[in-house]
């Protein structure tokens, strides 16, 4: 294993290097598994919320470590899709979960739904690796108020986790790519709203479309942004 002090990958707060936690874990447990968790589209005004989990062994981690550095810098859906496919081919197991707009509009607390989508992603990832269920396992998650649970204990969460952990960055890309696919479908269904331009987020142009044309069944009308808005005639 390369000396951690000599790694070329960027360092962050307190000198922590990208992927350092996973590297230390695999140094102690070469036969172990790291599972990263992240969500996408929590704050959009339209569409579903996605959660993703990815299980990596030592070889898979080392192959994707530099490849996935800071997925927030991966700007285009086409590139994210390509990266998601490569990530999947190097994983032990992945699972992408979804909270629909109807579930969000039912009025449940968003923190609760965030935990649910992450828990579903974790459970699905674990279910996809039955032959490795007894391997030493490290589970890490991007920051969230209500934490998912592994083996009866809340998992470790990290602010800006996708900038510290390769496994979280990989999960982030998987979740974002799934949301990209939904955005593309929304754009086809409702071209006047130009979803490809804003991906459902509350930009000035998106809010202007809603004020002019009305909100759609795919909008999260329980959000405060929709106070005083009217439904679209479709």
| pLDDT average, residue stretch 134-142 | 95
Euclidean distance between CA atoms 167 and 130, whole angstroms: 19
Yes or no: say if 225 and 202 are a contact pair by the CB < 8 Å rule.
yes
Return the pLDDT at 3. Answer: 33
Euclidean distance between CA atoms 67 and 231, whole angstroms: 43
Report pLDDT digits (tens) over 145-156.
999 999 999 999
Determine the 3-state secondary structure of 25 from DSSP.
helix
Measured between its terminal Cα atoms, the distance across the chain in Å is: 59
Return the pLDDT at 73. Answer: 62
Return the pLDDT at 68. Answer: 86
| pLDDT average, residue stretch 86-107 | 97
Query: Where does the pLDDT of residue 134 fall: very low under 50, low under 70, confident under 90, or very high at 90 and above?
Result: confident
Return the pLDDT at 5. Answer: 33
Euclidean distance between CA atoms 140 and 104, whole angstroms: 25
Using DSSP bridges, classify how beta strands 49-56 and 93-99 pair: parallel, antiparallel or unpaired: antiparallel
Return the pLDDT at 12. Answer: 46
Q: Is the pLDDT of residue 4 over 50?
A: no
Average pLDDT, the chain: 91
Return the pLDDT at 58. Answer: 97
Return the pLDDT at 193. Answer: 98
* Percent of the chain that is helix, strand, coil (3-state, to 5): 45, 20, 35
Tokens 């998912």, residue located:
148
Q: What's 154's DSSP letter?
A: E
Using DSSP bridges, classify how beta strands 149-150 and 137-142 pair: parallel, antiparallel or unpaired: unpaired
Q: What's 97's DSSP letter?
A: E
Sheet holding 156-158, edge to edge: 93-99, 49-56, 33-40, 137-142, 156-158
- Percent residues over pLDDT 70 in the chain: 91
Report pLDDT digits (tens) over 12-45.
444 458 899 999 999 999 999 999 999 999 999 9
């Amino acid at each position: 294993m390369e000396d951690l002090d000599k790694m070329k990958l960027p360092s962050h707060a307190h000198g922590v290097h990208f992927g350092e936690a996973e590297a230390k874990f695999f140094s102690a447990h070469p036969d172990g598994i790291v599972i990263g968790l992240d969500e996408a589209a929590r704050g959009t005004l339209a569409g579903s919320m996605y959660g993703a989990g990815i299980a990596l062994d030592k070889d898979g981690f080392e192959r994707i470590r530099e490849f996935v550095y800071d997925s927030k810098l991966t700007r285009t859906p086409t590139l994210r899709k390509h990266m998601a496919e490569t990530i999947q081919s190097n994983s032990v197991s992945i699972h992408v979960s979804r909270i629909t707009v109807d579930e969000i509009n039912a009025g449940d607390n968003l923190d609760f739904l965030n935990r649910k989508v992450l828990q579903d992603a974790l459970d699905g990832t674990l279910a996809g690796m039955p032959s490795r269920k007894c391997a030493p396992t490290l589970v890490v998650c991007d920051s969230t108020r209500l934490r998912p649970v592994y083996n009866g204990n809340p998992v470790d969460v990290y602010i800006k986790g996708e900038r510290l952990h390769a496994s979280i960055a990989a999960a982030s890309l998987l979740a974002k790519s799934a949301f990209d696919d939904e955005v593309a479908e929304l754009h086809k269904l409702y071209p006047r709203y130009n979803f490809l331009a804003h991906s459902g987020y509350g930009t000035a142009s998106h809010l202007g479309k809603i004020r002019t044309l009305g909100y759609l069944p795919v909008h999260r009308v329980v959000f405060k942004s929709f106070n005083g808005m009217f439904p679209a005639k479709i």
